[in-house]
């Protein structure tokens, strides 16, 4: 799904978190939103998802104005910063959540939900752990459950907020490679937020650099690396968002 963002603004009690953002994302692209803490990355992601209402401007999914599409019908999968799994539910029930909460008329039969959960467990390499609870998993495994849950409804757009932020360096590296593989297999239009430039440059097709609610630069990882528009691109390594 192609996404077009036009003059998008968001204010919180008069504080402008996003100033007239314009951005085009092609169908099937993997795009990183990179910037220091407080630059508006999460806000942009949440407005695209419909979790926050814009104060001005538009987000189009294909030819449709996304604000006219109810949030549940936007076809967006969202992975939150700290997994946000349901603690009292098993891995399988967490993954099935997006399917099993649908109204009866559009809810797939249980055998189909079970089949889909089985496929997703396979995709995220967690087969055998379906009866565990989130507290019995490592951070990396929890994040893979969160991703499987987001993919369960076959979203056209996948949005990830600092998906690997809470993990150690080794697990981050593995999950990065694996997110790329899943992206290439599913073909979702994917946006992920990171304050880690190495992650953005290594993983994304294109990088969008945000600062203080403005887009500073858009380019391929090579372009951003060779000609950073703002020196901070190379200053904020290690800045814990
Ligand atoms: P980032 O994801 O780049 O760290 P955010 O999008 O979370 O940045 O925040 C951008 C700015 O908007 C910050 O100054 C933040 O304090 C402010 N902000 C974000 N969400 C809210 C909110 N719900 N209420 C008030 N201010 C907010």
Closest residue to atom 5 of ligand 1, CA basis: 40
User: 116, 137, 154 — which closes off a domain?
Assistant: 154
Specify the ligand 1 atom closest to the Cα of 45. Answer: 6
From 150, 156, 155, 147, select the one nearest 2 (Cα to Cα): 156
162 lies in some domain: no
Residue with tokens 């528009």: 229
230 belongs to a structural domain: yes
User: Which atom belonging to ligand 1 lies closest to the Cα atom of 40?
Assistant: 6
Pocket residue to mutate for ligand 1, from 41, 43, 47, most atoms within 8 A of Cβ: 43
**What pTM value is reported for the model?**
0.90
Residue 5: phi and psi, rounded to 5, are -115, 130
* ipTM over the 0.85 cut-off: yes
12 lines ligand 1 (CB under 6 A): yes
Instruction: Specify whether the CB–CB gap between 210 and 44 falls below 8 A.
Output: yes
**Domain housing 54:** 1-75+179-241
* Strand spans (E) along the chain: 3-12, 15-25, 30-34, 56-61, 64-65, 76-79, 157-161, 189-194, 206-211, 214-219
pLDDT in tens, the chain (241 residues): 899 999 999 999 999 999 999 999 999 999 999 998 999 999 999 999 999 999 999 999 999 999 888 887 888 999 888 778 999 999 999 999 978 777 777 788 889 999 999 999 998 889 999 999 999 999 889 999 999 999 998 888 999 999 888 788 888 888 888 889 889 988 899 999 998 888 999 999 999 999 999 999 999 999 988 888 776 555 544 444 4
229 within some domain: yes
| Shared domain check, 59 and 21 | yes
What distances in angstroms separate CA 192 from CA 164, 181, 202, one per listed residue? 10, 15, 13
């Amino acid at each position: 799904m192609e996404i077009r963002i036009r003059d998008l603004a968001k204010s919180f009690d008069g504080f402008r978190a996003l100033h007239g953002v314009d951005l085009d994302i092609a169908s099937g692209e993997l795009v990183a939103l990179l910037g220091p803490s407080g630059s508006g990355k999460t806000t942009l992601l949440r407005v695209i998802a419909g979790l926050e209402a814009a104060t001005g401007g538009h987000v189009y999914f294909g030819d449709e104005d996304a604000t006219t599409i109810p949030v549940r019908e936007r076809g967006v999968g969202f992975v939150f910063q700290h997994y946000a799994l349901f603690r009292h539910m098993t891995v399988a029930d967490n993954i099935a959540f997006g399917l099993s909460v649908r109204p009866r008329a559009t809810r797939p039969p249980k055998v189909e939900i079970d089949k889909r959960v089985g496929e997703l467990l396979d995709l995220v390499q967690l087969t055998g752990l379906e009866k565990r609870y989130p507290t019995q998993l490592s951070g990396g495994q929890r994040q893979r459950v969160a991703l499987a849950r987001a993919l369960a409804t076959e979203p056209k757009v996948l949005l990830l907020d600092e998906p690997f932020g809470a993990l150690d360096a080794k697990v981050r590296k593995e999950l990065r490679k694996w997110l790329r593989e899943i992206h290439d297999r599913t073909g979702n239009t994917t946006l992920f937020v990171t304050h880690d430039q190495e992650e953005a440059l290594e993983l994304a097709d294109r990088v969008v650099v945000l600062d203080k609610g403005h887009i500073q630069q858009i380019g391929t990882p090579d372009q951003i690396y060779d000609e950073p528009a703002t020196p901070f691109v190379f200053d904020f390594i290690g800045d814990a968002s």
